[in-house]
Amino acid sequence: MPNRIVKRSATLADGRDLIYYDDADTRLGPERRIDNRPLEPRPPTATMRQDVLNGEWISVAAARQGRVVLPPADRDPLAPQTPDNPSEVPDLYDVAVFENRSPSFGPALPGDGTGVVAAPAGLADINDLGFGRERVAVGRCEVVCFSPEHEGSFGNLTPSRARTVIEAWADRTAVLSELPGIEQVFVFENRGKAIGVTLPHPHGQIYAYPYVTPRTMRVLESVRRLGPDLFQRILENERAGDRVVLAGEMWTAFVPFAARWPIEVHLLPHRHIPDLAAANDAERDELVTLYLRLLRGIDALYEDPTPYIAAWHQAPVHTGRDTVRLHLQLTSIRRGADKIKYLAGSEAAMGAFVADIVPEEAAARIRAAVATG
């Protein structure tokens, strides 16, 4: 870990992985309490079924129905444990990552000794199409706690803490990419009740999928049709236009030409890197400054915090790594101070979006907010 960020591995009472990442300027000592909770065994790994009309896989994870929804601060499952709150993290922390107790994918992996049958047998098997196709939803889902505080988001973090979170994202991307059966790793943060967040605690998630996601499959097809330098050409076109909202030496943020959402910003590195693990220290350092400025600018658009989804699109583990570039897609359904864009018939049923705001106008508003945020 660079910059004196320290990684400490532990295990929860039911055998799940727990990893602490201590800030470079941490005030915590090296010791952590052990998780002594009496926990029931984890639920079985979910299954996934293929939609024969489009080939997409749907994970059926019924155990997620029992997850906690908007608990009071003294019952926060992501806060450090207390005698009255048997939470998921045994001790005080800076940043903590642990396996989700009721995940959409995993914990089973191909060949991990658990006797899993009907696990996906590689991309050829996944990309085949037919009726009644069902597989075990092997993979991994992890929770990334940005802070021990009960409320907040990435934009509220100090630069030091933000750097630790980025280091955790990069490290987990590298580790999860090495697991058997993993085809893509997705880092994301959901923020706000309007998005559907069930915990106000500042946190994000990481999904390790057993297939290449539908959006990325479409990106790979665009690369095939337009050339391996597609992302570089996108970056050059945007930097020459009037939709840039924030730029540094190594990253540029812009509203895309065909933005779907009322608030949509993409953030691209200037050199080709397939995922967060491939970013060097200088790129991660600048990302701290630019990303915090961007998120605080998005919040400055209105008087109260903006709900959003921050999606870090990374190249698949085994394909497209020389052409698919790491990029952030930050989107919000907020189209006004008291207006929300709901996905109605055209968007939800047909995937045919209708934009409410001209992208150039959105960029001008976000650029002004970033300058004052």
* Each residue's pLDDT tens digit, 134-152: 999 999 999 999 999 999 9
Mean of the per-residue pLDDT values for the chain?
A: 95
Q: Are 87 and 74 in contact (CB under 8 A)?
A: no
Residues found in the chain: 373
Mean pLDDT in residue range 16-26: 97
pLDDT at 63 (0 to 100): 80
SS3 assignment, position 35:
coil
Of 3.30.428.10, 3.40.50.410, 2.30.42.10, 3.20.20.70, the CATH number of 2-211 is: 3.30.428.10
Report the catalytic residues.
203
The single-letter DSSP state of residue 71 is: -
Per-residue pLDDT, 3: 66
DSSP string for residues in 181-232: T--EEEEEEEESGGGT-S--SSEEEEEEESS--HHHHHHHHHHHHH-TTHHH
Q: How many CA atoms lie within 13 A of 156 on its CB side?
A: 15
Query: What pLDDT, in 10s, does the model give residues 237-267?
Result: 999 999 999 999 999 999 999 999 999 999 9
Q: Count of H helices and E strands in the chain?
A: 7, 16
Give the pair of three-digit tokens for residue 108.
């089973």
Please say whether the beta carbons of 141 and 108 come within 8 A: no
- d(CA 265, CA 296) in angstroms, rounded, equals 13
| pLDDT surpasses 70 at 1 | no
Asked whether this chain's domains 2-211 and 216-372 adopt the same fold, the reply is yes
| Helix, strand, or coil (residue 277) | helix
Confidence label for 232 from pLDDT (cuts 50, 70 and 90) = very high
Task: Kindly report, residue by residue over 320-369, the tens digit of the pLDDT.
Answer: 999 999 999 999 999 999 999 988 899 999 999 999 899 999 999 999 99
Q: In the chain, what are the domain boundaries?
A: 2-211, 216-372
Q: Going by DSSP bridges, is the β-strand pair 140-145/203-209 parallel, antiparallel, or unpaired?
A: antiparallel
pLDDT of residue 112: 74
pTM check: above 0.85: yes
Place domain 216-372 in its CATH homologous superfamily.
HIT-like (3.30.428.10)
How far are the Cα atoms of 247, 288, 315 from residue 164, in angstroms, in the given order? 22, 10, 22
Q: State mean pLDDT over 124-142.
A: 95
Mean pLDDT of 14-22: 97
* pLDDT of 115: 67
- Confidence category of residue 121, pLDDT binned at 50, 70, 90: confident
- pLDDT of 2 reads 61
Higher local confidence (pLDDT), 68 or 162 = 162
Q: What is the mean pLDDT of residues 160-164?
A: 98
pLDDT in the model for residue 70: 80
Looking at per-residue pLDDT, the higher value among 66 and 27 belongs to 27
DSSP class of residue 39?
Answer: P
Give the separation between CA 145 and CA 79, rounded to whole angstroms.
9
Average pLDDT over residues 38-53: 94
pLDDT at 21 over 90: yes
What's the pLDDT at 67? 73
Q: CA 324, 326, 328 angle in degrees (round to 5)?
A: 130
Across 120-139, average pLDDT? 93
Task: Report the interhelical angle of 230-239 vs 214-226 (nearest 10°).
Answer: 90
- Do 35 and 12 form a contact (C-beta atoms < 8 A)? yes
